Amino acid sequence: MKIHIKNGHLIDPKNGIDSKKDLFIAAGKIIAVGESPEGFIANQIIDANNLIVIPGLVDLSARLREPGFEHKATLESEMQAAVAGGITSLACPPDTDPVLDEPGLVEMLKHRAKQLNLAHVYPLGALTHQLNGQEITEMCELTEAGCVGFSQADSAIKDTQVLWRAMQYAATFGFTVWLRPEEPYLAKDGVAHDGEVAARLGLKGIPTASETLAIASILRIAKETGAKVHLCRLSTAEGVDMVRAAKKTGQQISCDVSANHLHLTDFDIGFFDSNAHLRPPLRSQRDKEALSAGLVDGTIDAICSDHTPVDDDAKLYPFAEAEAGATGLELLLPLILKWAEDNKVNLNQAITTATEMPAKILGIAAGNLSVNSNADICIFDPKQYWKIEASALLSQGKNSPFLGLELAGKVKYTLVNGHIVHQSE
Amino acid sequence: MLNPQLTNDGKLKHLLSIEGLPKAIIKQILDTAESFVGVAEREVKKVPLLRGKTVCNLFFENSTRTRTTFEIAAKRLSADVITLNVSTSSQSKGETILDTIDNLTAMHADMFVVRHAQSGAAHMIAKHVAPHIHVINAGDGRHAHPTQGLLDAFTIRRYKPEMHNLRVAIVGDILHSRVARSEIHALTSLGVPEVRVIAPKTLLPENVEKLGVHVFHDMREGLKDVDVIMMLRLQNERMAGAMLPSSQEYFKTYGLTPEKLALAKPDAIVMHPGPMNRGVEIDSAVADGKQSVILPQVTYGIAVRMAVMSILAGNS
């Protein structure tokens, strides 16, 4: 299959391209950018006039809910949602049921994902058995099975000795440890940012110190053990400052933020909207601005969707009892575009945070449009608005704090390995 | 954001929280309550305002005083009243709150009085019910207990009618108290110029001053020259642990004794939402003393709840 994408505006941060250029694809690879190779005859021509052509997005956190939570979402529904959102590679956290702590499970997940032939799936293995925070997993075996890193998902390790050992062990083999910084005792039973809104609504707060204390321990242990660490879902201004300072001293560390936290604050909880019950919690306006600034100055490396499909029933509880999380795969691109526009960030830089940078963190060959790379491509209309509503989402999770909002940025084509896996009007 | 407790033309549809309630509606409730105070003194303690209506008291969390006063209030308005202690029935069988509500709606309940241990439960129910049904929040988690806030405001207004000239202190576990939150909103909405909260840092929410109150940690300082002292109940489970060392130390530092009461204005009144822990937050000599209006609070609670129910029914 040979495809010619013509007349599109190409944005490829890695290769410094931000202009109108054609793209030529054959045998699943990009074979030329700009000029047509000699004798190239396309089987299909995609006219991308007025559209933007970018590398397929790389999402650092998408819960696919398989195995174990098929009533919330299935691999198939979520992979469809991913490509509908222009995402061609994604990392999934290990908090499935059973937990991704055995090579067999990881192999099965990889195999099932491959059969669907949609986005590439990169599982994160559990750092500890059952995520129990006590015994470390068979990290070498899990890596062989396809894990690209090790994570505790939302179950922070309480015992710092275990955390130390886990990071030492991972460091032995050069594996990356993915941790969402949260001191579990301070965050215990908390459901909202410990600020004015929580005070008014009578919700148990999660203080900023819960994040900063955890970052302090993680940074220190990473330094002592030499472990490669990726910090997931920063949420506080103070947390951003700490990472900025650590990077200044030359510490090798990466981190991400969820698209939700770049747009929302605890005020969006309104009158107990359970769709705004997220983990980490939505924080203050000041935190939101600091996250944005951190992303602009490179302290924060990547934006992810933090896709967490939740079934309707699990949201039909009072705020604190409702399950945390929001659907995100199909909102990632429009939310990045909106963030860029709101903060006057150029599109090139914004796109980097969801293509080149996350690919680098994952250590995968993706997120760029270099010649000879896999033809994983997203083509979107930056001016087409669409309304966020249940019927507009392919994900089985319809839970979103953005419901009702109209956002610009509609994915028209998604290609994975040179195949068109999604197309829309 | 639309205020979920008001109809499109600004009338009271549900009573979920005092926050966001227009001052005019708060006044309407208090004025209506005045007219019901006399009903209890009549030989026939009933008015027919809710005749033919079914009020459903839905208590997902235990309560004696609130449940009973709501029941009496509904009965004095001639409503049919059902009281369900859901904590001991369907919930233990795994039925969700909204399923319970749907079932009772199918039995033609007109009004729900709801208490639940989780903040936001009443809002969730109000969002879910059919348009002709009214929801009254009888306490949701730490969030709100609006009828308590209203009856406290009513009591204060009866004893100290010049509310724009008062200094009020709320003492105790503000962090976990829905009563305190509702009192603060009621008083600030009615124009009380100075509301103080007095508590150790462990029992105050972050940013509590954003609610429009002055924070004191020293009770002696906080009580100086106040007109009204509103004590809060200290829950048993908080009396020892990480928040407080012991009930004895709490009494010493934040318990209301005659000696501390003397720091307030000589004609200050003492209130408590009940049930009281004598010797923990309040000395018996104060609770039973001549400045205490704790029992009138209970009596007025019925009038205020009658007022809320009749106004809601009138807005159908």
Contact state of B1 with A270 under an 8 Å Cβ cutoff: yes
Distance from CA of B34 to the nearest CA of A (A): 29
- The answer to whether the Cβ–Cβ distance between B1 and A271 falls below 8 Å is yes
- H or E stretch including A126? strand A125-126
Cβ–Cβ < 8 Å for B185, B17: yes
Inter-chain touch A203–B143, beta carbons under 8 Å: yes
pLDDT of the residue at B239: 80
Structure tokens at B135: 């929801």
Q: Is A201 on the interface with B (CB under 8 A)?
A: yes
Instruction: State whether B211 and A200 contact (CB < 8 Å).
Output: yes
Q: Render pLDDT for B69-82 as a digit per residue (tens, 0 to 9).
A: 999 999 999 999 99
| pLDDT of A369 | 98
Mean pLDDT score, B53-66: 92
Q: Which helix (H) or strand (E) holds B222?
A: helix B219-223
pLDDT of residue B64: 87
Which one of B2, B13, B17, B119 would you mutate to disrupt binding with A, by most A Cβ within 10 Å of its Cβ?
B119
* Residue B31 and residue B306 in contact, taking contact as beta carbons nearer than 8 Å: no
pLDDT of B90 > 60? The answer is: no
Closest to A167 measured CA to CA, from A94, A219, A220, A221: A221
The predicted structure's pLDDT at residue B91 = 54
pLDDT range class, residue B39, cuts 50, 70, 90: confident
A321 shares contact with chain B (CB less than 8 Å): yes
Helix, strand, coil % over all residues of chain A, rounded to 5? 35, 25, 40
Task: Note whether A320 and A274 are within 8 A (CB).
Answer: no
Which residue from B285, B289, B215, B279 is spatially nearest to B250, judged by alpha carbons?
Answer: B279
Per-residue pLDDT averaged across B87-106, rounded? 77
- Determine the average pLDDT of the residues in B16-37: 96
B167 has a pLDDT exceeding 80: yes
What is the Cα–Cα distance from A121 to A111, expressed in whole angstroms? 10
pLDDT of residue B1: 58
What gap in Å lies between CA A151 and CA A232, rounded to an integer? Answer: 10
The reported pLDDT for the residue numbered A357 is 98
Rounded to 5°, angle at Cα B3 from B1 and B4: 115
Average pLDDT over residues B76-98: 80
Annotation says A59 is catalytic: no
Tokens for B248, please give them: 């004895």
Contact call for B207 and A199, based on CB within 8 A: yes
pLDDT of residue A425: 82
Q: Which residue of B has its CA nearest to A201?
A: B143
**Which member of A202, A205, A316 has the closest CB to residue B143?**
A202
pLDDT of residue B235: 86
Q: What angle do CA B35, B41, B46 make, to 5 degrees?
A: 70
**CA-CA-CA-CA dihedral for B297, B298, B299, B305, to nearest 10:** 100
Reported ipTM: 0.92
Written as six digits, the tokens of B311 are 């106004």
Distance from CA of A153 to the nearest CA of B (A): 26
Mean pLDDT, rounded, of chain B: 94
Q: Please name the residue that has the structure tokens 């600091």.
A: A290
pLDDT per position as a tens digit, B214-249:
999 999 999 999 999 999 999 888 887 899 999 999
User: DSSP class of residue A66?
Assistant: T
- Which of residues 206 through 235 in chain B touch A, CB cutoff 8 A? 206-208, 210-211
Classify residue A214 by burial, with Cβ atoms within 10 Å: 0-12, 13-18, 19+: buried
Q: What is the pLDDT of residue A214?
A: 98
Task: Find, among B124, B148, B130, B133, the residue nearest to B60 by Cα.
Answer: B124
- Does pLDDT of B138 surpass 60? yes
Residue ranges of chain A with pLDDT lower than 50? none
> Which residue's entry shows tokens 């391209």?
A17
Of A194, A200, A202, the CB nearest to B141: A202
Residue that wins the pLDDT comparison between B94 and A386: A386
Q: How far apart are CA A379 and CA A56, in angstroms?
A: 8
pLDDT of residue B63: 86
Q: What is the mean pLDDT of residues B120-147?
A: 96
Single out the catalytic residue among A306, A312, A313, A381: A306
**Residues A271, B181: C-beta atoms closer than 8 Å:** no
CA distance B115 to chain A (A): 12
Cβ pair B123, A203 in contact under 8 A: no
H or E segment and range at residue B167 = strand B167-171
User: What's the pLDDT band for B5 if we cut at 50, 70, 90?
Assistant: very high
Q: What is the pLDDT of residues A341-362, one digit of tens each?
A: 999 999 999 999 999 999 999 9
